[in-house]
Every structure is written in structure tokens, then in C-alpha cells.
Amino acid sequence: MANTVVVIIKIMPKSVSSNLKHIEDEIRKKMEPHGGKSITFEEKEVAFGLKSITLKMAFPEEKGTDLIEKLIYEVPEVSSMVIEDYRRAFG
């Protein structure tokens, strides 16, 4: 039986002028074919007009975080990302 994990990731765009909705749409398009489910995004103010994106999703554990990182960094306007939480989902 495949386990599912819940992943929370903080994503930083390259600049204040980066289109956050476009970044979110591109990430969603990349995650869903690999098993990403219940994908949500939240924008948070960082400083001086710069916003981060918090991604929350369920993902197949066997695919691992390397695939998640690779897919996110394929989005051209992404500057950096950090996995803030990673845990098995129950129920």
C-alpha cells in the first residue's frame, strides 16, 4: 500500500514583479500528473512588496522530495524553495 505524505513548501519568486498566479498554475500543472492532490496556495507578505507562496499538498511518499524540488525549480520565475513540513498522512 502506497503511503501519502503532506508537504508544506515555502516558495520565493525571483522578483516583486513575478506573476504569483502564473507560478501557482505552473506548479499545479507539474504536480498533478505525479500524484499531487489537495493542492492549495497561500501568498504571504515578506518585505517591501515581495510575497512568498506557501504550497500545501498531499503527495505519494515513494516519489520523494527530490522530484518535488525538481518540478518546482522547472518553473522559470521561482528563485528558491524550502520544505517547511513533511509528514505521513493518516486516514
User: Distance between CA atoms of 42 and 44, rounded to whole angstroms?
Assistant: 6
Q: What is the structure's pLDDT at 89? A: 80
The arithmetic mean of pLDDT across residues 4-29, rounded, is: 97
pLDDT at 1 over 60: no
Contact status, residue 63 vs residue 34, Cβ threshold 8 Å: yes
Q: pTM of the prediction?
A: 0.92
Among the listed ranges 1-10, 21-30, 71-80, which one has the minimum average pLDDT value?
1-10
Percentage of the chain exceeding pLDDT 90: 92
Span 47-65, pLDDT tens digits:
999 999 999 999 999 999 9
Q: What is the structure's pLDDT at 91? A: 59
Q: What is the structure's pLDDT at 90? A: 73
